[in-house]
Amino acid sequence: MSAIQKEELLKQYFGHPAFRLGQETLIDALLSGRDVLGVMPTGAGKSICYQIPALMLPGITLVVSPLISLMKDQVTALKQAGVAAAYINSSLSLAQYLEVLRRAKSGIYKIIYVAPERLATEGFLDFAENAELSLLAVDEAHCVSQWGQDFRPSYLRIAEFCATLPKRPTVGAFTATATDEVKRDVVKLLELKDPLELTTGFDRPNLYFSVETPGSKDAWLNAFLSERREQSGIVYCATRKNVEKVCDMLRERGYAATRYHAGLEDEERRANQENFLYDRARVMVATNAFGMGIDKSNVSYVVHYNMPKNIESYYQEAGRAGRDGTRAECVLLYSALDVRTAKFLIENGEENEALTEEERAFNRERDLARLVRMAGYGKTTDCLRRYILQYFGEKAPIHCANCGNCCGKLEEFDITTEAQKILSGVTRVERKYRSGLGVTMIVRMLHGSKEQRVLELGLDKLPTYGVMQDTDRSTIRSYIDRLIEKEFLCLTDGEYPVPRTTERTKDVLFHDEQVIIYAKKRERPTKKKAAAAQTGDGSLFAALRELRFEIAQREHVPAYLVFSNATLQDMAAKQPETMTEFLDVNGVGSRKAELYGEAFLDCIRAWKEANGKEKSGIWT
């Protein structure tokens, strides 16, 4: 009975035909009154695990969530789906707060999202003690652990809150952080009772991973984005300065880009985030301050302009792409210089005063070890998906057939002559300037630049001045990167690293060692071309997306809350003609069919008339 009911609710409210891996097990446990700890990667569908029980259990489900923006989004999505929900956090005025409490007391809401700080307040405790609370779901449960990166002291009060209630609700904890320390902390500090622990696989099959090592990141980014003007995506940079620079560069080139970092005023951050969520700005350029709690499901790519400090951060940030299950791309722009900068920041970053010197040394060592693994990702020629999954302790096939290394054919290039020119140039610079010169100056010298600074330094007097005048600067730069990787050069430590010769330099200069590099062909897998055709101008998908945008504008909600990209794609493929067929589209529940069905059916009808009625061959 309950199995049928569960699936009916999944279809009716959320429009999904079946549960994903792990969801049903967690739901069953919660329904039977057992605590759970659900560890699933971002985008796996954790919310459904407590939202379905919330609909089935008597009384109210409280969801503790750390971020205001996330709560608002989730509640809007639930309301759209026809579920009575509300949130309580500091964004409400006193009058609004009291009104929500009044309604909650009268039993209107099935689900209430609440900020952890609120649990301990008198008014809320009073309400909670007198309400029928069946379930307490703790979202982003890793925030309770000091091991995690997002520790929130207020999460430590959750267990206490449960203990003060006349009847302890079932507790479900959910997180995407899988390390043992964090899991142990969550069970202990939230006082979970004999919880069912479930960790689902970390693989995200719809994500296409790749690493690029362009000589000019800006030129690469420009080319990449020019093919994706209609898509939303995030570009992560390591520093605020880079965010500003990249965002300005993109704006100058006519992209609707916006920015986000901790140095901006609250008001601007809020507005920029909203512009991105509502698709008014397609590209978000941000530091890692952006993202936690961002539940935008139609992010089609995440580009890392700079390399993050570890694979945990990378996978979390990259994982913000493709949450709706449609194909999305995660690209890391790798450069040896970024590794050096990250190392410098770990070694010279802000010290946590609360730690002893021994603990700090331990943390530094740990962070450096993690950085080495991250840099390994940038350099590996093996399957990238496997590299990540193995890092998280999962088994994975040798080839995934869906990452840059598995799909891109590697081509061999002999760059011995170029390497000799560069190494000879660095040797001469080293002799002339004891403290060396940065990569940019070396590139200019080799290219024969007439810029004032080059002439002032007398670089035009060196015999290697201009020896690579026929090679463009970005290519010279990428060769230098490859020589560093192969240890024919090294970079000094410090804030301004400079290239230096190594023991191996002379092997190339004097002992005829060949320098071979492997670079990817610029070919993309065919699947992607098909996907582009499906979403190109004039396609039914484009027409549906346009309609979605209009509705979203009218109703003041982000477009993906009307329907996700995955839903629009399924709609474009199925081309429903009747309301019954419309309900068969993945992601269409009864409430949304009622709200938007007619408009979308009209749109499909009109598109078919304009494009001939044939179902097949529409993408070609």
Residues forming contacts to ligand ADP in the complex (CB under 6 A) are 16, 19-20, 23, 40, 42-48, 295, 297, 323-325, 564
Helices of type H across 486-589: 505-510, 526-535, 540-555, 559-562, 565-574, 579-583
Give the Cα separation of 33 and 172 in Å (integer): 10
Give the Cα separation of 305 and 237 in Å (integer): 5
Least separation, in Å, of the C-beta of 325 and ligand ADP?
Answer: 6
Give the orientation angle of helix 473-485 with respect to helix 336-348, to 10 degrees.
Answer: 60
Q: Which is nearer to ligand ADP, 324 or 329 (CB)?
A: 324
In 3-state terms, what secondary structure has residue 517? strand
Residue type, 445: M
Q: Which is nearer to ligand ADP, 44 or 114 (CB)?
A: 44
Least separation, in Å, of the C-beta of 490 and ligand ADP?
Answer: 41
- HSE-CB for 289 with a 13 A CA cutoff: 16
Give the Cα separation of 575 and 567 in Å (integer): 12
Q: Which is nearer to ligand ADP, 325 or 378 (CB)?
A: 325
Question: Whose CA is closest to 458, among 474, 479, 437, 487?
Answer: 437
Least separation, in Å, of the C-beta of 9 and ligand ADP?
Answer: 11
Which residue, judged by CB position, is nearest to ligand ADP in the bound state? 45
Give the Cα separation of 116 and 105 in Å (integer): 20
Give the Cα separation of 302 and 291 in Å (integer): 11
Q: Which is nearer to ligand ADP, 47 or 306 (CB)?
A: 47
Question: Whose CA is closest to 426, among 339, 488, 478, 515?
Answer: 488
Neighbours of 377 (CB within 10 A): 21
Whether 418 and 468 have beta carbons less than 8 Å apart is answered as yes
Least separation, in Å, of the C-beta of 566 and ligand ADP?
Answer: 7
Q: Which is nearer to ligand ADP, 287 or 297 (CB)?
A: 297
Give the Cα separation of 225 and 208 in Å (integer): 16
Q: Which is nearer to ligand ADP, 109 or 202 (CB)?
A: 202
Whether 576 and 584 have beta carbons less than 8 Å apart is answered as yes
Question: Whose CA is closest to 420, among 522, 337, 500, 505?
Answer: 505
Q: Which is nearer to ligand ADP, 320 or 340 (CB)?
A: 320
Least separation, in Å, of the C-beta of 480 and ligand ADP?
Answer: 40
Least separation, in Å, of the C-beta of 394 and ligand ADP?
Answer: 17
Q: Can you spell out the DSSP letters for 359-391?
A: HHHHHHHHHHHHHHHHHHHHH--S-HHHHHHHH
Two tokens, residue 304? 């890392």
From its phi and psi, is residue 317 left (phi > 0), alpha (psi between -120 and 50) or beta?
A: alpha
Least separation, in Å, of the C-beta of 539 and ligand ADP?
Answer: 22
Q: Which is nearer to ligand ADP, 497 or 587 (CB)?
A: 587
Q: Which is nearer to ligand ADP, 294 or 375 (CB)?
A: 294
Least separation, in Å, of the C-beta of 561 and ligand ADP?
Answer: 10
Q: Which is nearer to ligand ADP, 392 or 433 (CB)?
A: 392
Whether 444 and 187 have beta carbons less than 8 Å apart is answered as no
Q: Which is nearer to ligand ADP, 45 or 291 (CB)?
A: 45
Least separation, in Å, of the C-beta of 233 and ligand ADP?
Answer: 17
Q: Which is nearer to ligand ADP, 421 or 592 (CB)?
A: 592
Q: Which is nearer to ligand ADP, 208 or 465 (CB)?
A: 208
Least separation, in Å, of the C-beta of 150 and ligand ADP?
Answer: 14
Residue type, 346: I
Least separation, in Å, of the C-beta of 178 and ligand ADP?
Answer: 13
Give the list of residues 6+ apart from residue 507 with CB closer than 8 angstroms, or none. 488, 513
Residue with tokens 């403290």: 435
Least separation, in Å, of the C-beta of 304 and ligand ADP?
Answer: 19
Least separation, in Å, of the C-beta of 538 and ligand ADP?
Answer: 27
Two tokens, residue 405? 């290394």
Q: Which is nearer to ligand ADP, 335 or 564 (CB)?
A: 564
Q: Can you spell out the DSSP letters for 237-296?
A: -SSHHHHHHHHHHHHHTT--EEEE-TTS-HHHHHHHHHHHHTTSSSEEEE-TTS-TT---
Q: Which is nearer to ligand ADP, 367 or 570 (CB)?
A: 570
Q: Quick one: CA dihedral 599, 601, 607, 610, positive or negative?
A: negative
Between strands 499-501 and 489-491, the pairing is antiparallel
Two tokens, residue 459? 């670089």
Geometric angle at alpha carbon 590, from 585 and 593, rounded to 5°: 65
Least separation, in Å, of the C-beta of 219 and ligand ADP?
Answer: 34
Question: Whose CA is closest to 504, among 411, 412, 426?
Answer: 426
Q: Can you spell out the DSSP letters for 288-324?
A: TTS-TT---TTEEEEEESS--SSHHHHHHHHTTS-TT
